[in-house]
Amino acid sequence: MFKQALSKLKSAISPAARPAARVPDGTRVYAIGDIHGRADLLDQLHDKIQADAKGSDASRHVVVYLGDYVDRGLDSKGVIDRLIGDPLPGFEKVFIKGNHEDAFLKFFVEPEFGRDWKYYGGLETLMSYGVKALPMKDEPEAFVAARDELATKFSPQHLEFFGGLKLSHEEGDYFFAHAGVRPGRPLDRQTGDDLMWIRDEFLASDADFGKVVVHGHTPEEVPIDRSNRIGIDTGAYITGVLTCVVLEAGARRFIQVGGQTDGQPGDQAES
């Protein structure tokens, strides 16, 4: 009886009344939202992060990239080149797999999937790798030709990078995934499809997921900062704004580059 009453009492505590989410002591985490081929903005953000970290007393610096490195923007290959080139020496680096990386890899195995992929940024990615046989028409042989040419231009280092992407990462009271999590399912039982692709069920939920979920995938004009999730996809490929959230102790703040970056984190409804 006492345990049941205690459980009800805990569930009645509003998220605002719960202790602030924290990362481990001595750690500062930088999490970067969807890049989508904007190598220029990534360069600027890396510079800002490096400058920011110089004033840190933290003994451990971690940068978490939340996925969607490729597609839509014009320099997907350049983004991967930078990420494998150790742009932030001394930082621990975590590379999360986004749905666009999932689609890119699927194209290698099933070139006919290019019929869908090309309409959400695949052609720009093929161009960035120097593929000449661009499948402008939806003919199966055109996608096979593009895949075969891409394979000749895809370096072992890039293949190793894509093969090593993680689906999620945890730091203290925070859980990092590209798209989000399925409400009602423990974090250690989330599926890859949900972590990379989920949208409406996650965004509409005000549930306590067990940890604060830091995610990208759904672009917004400003970062979304709520008690159960932080969304930092600000549509870099179209808005020209790339966003990073900085987590240290029980505090969080944002760093942005490009465009008009004087906006404040918001809580508007998702679209």
End-to-end, the C-alpha distance of the chain in Å comes to 44
Mean pLDDT of 184-208: 98
* 3-19 mean pLDDT: 46
Residue 19 pLDDT: 78
Average of per-residue pLDDT across 223-237: 97
Q: How far apart are CA 216 and CA 17, in angstroms?
A: 26
Both 183 and 239 in one domain: the answer is yes
Q: Which residues constitute the domain of residue 211?
A: 167-259
Q: pLDDT > 90: what percent of the chain?
A: 86
d(CA 136, CA 39): 25
Q: Average pLDDT for residues 84-105, to the nearest whole number? A: 97
Banded model confidence at residue 224, pLDDT cuts 50, 70, 90: very high
Residue 50 in tokens: 């490096």
Q: Are strands 212-215 and 224-225 parallel, antiparallel or unpaired?
A: unpaired
Name the DSSP letter for residue 266.
Answer: B
At 8, the pLDDT band (50, 70, 90 cuts) reads very low
Look at the chain and report how many structural domains it folds into: 2
* Among candidate residues 163, 198, 218, the one where a domain is terminated: 163
125, pLDDT greater than 90: yes
pLDDT on residue 137: 87
Residues 60 and 150 in one domain: yes
Out of 139, 163, 187, pick the residue that ends a domain: 163
Q: Are residues 157 and 171 in the same domain?
A: no
Same domain? 179 vs 245? yes
Q: What is the pLDDT of residues 233-247, one digit of tens each?
A: 999 999 999 999 999
Last residue of a domain, one of 144, 163, 182: 163
Together in a domain, 175 and 237: yes
Query: How does residue 55 score in pLDDT terms, banded at 50, 70 and 90?
Result: confident
Same domain? 198 vs 129:
no
Could you tell me which of 186, 197, 266 has the C-alpha nearest to residue 226?
A: 266
62 and 150 in a single domain? The answer is yes
| Of 24 and 262, the one with more pLDDT | 24
Together in a domain, 140 and 232: no
Q: Do 157 and 187 reside in the same domain of the chain?
A: no
Over residues 55-84, the mean pLDDT reads: 97
Mean pLDDT (the chain) is: 91
161 and 95 in contact (C-beta within 8 Å)? yes
Does 11 score more than 70 pLDDT?
Answer: no
Residues paired with residue 60 on neighbouring β-strands, in sequence order? 27
Q: What confidence tier does 18 reach under pLDDT thresholds 50, 70, 90?
A: low
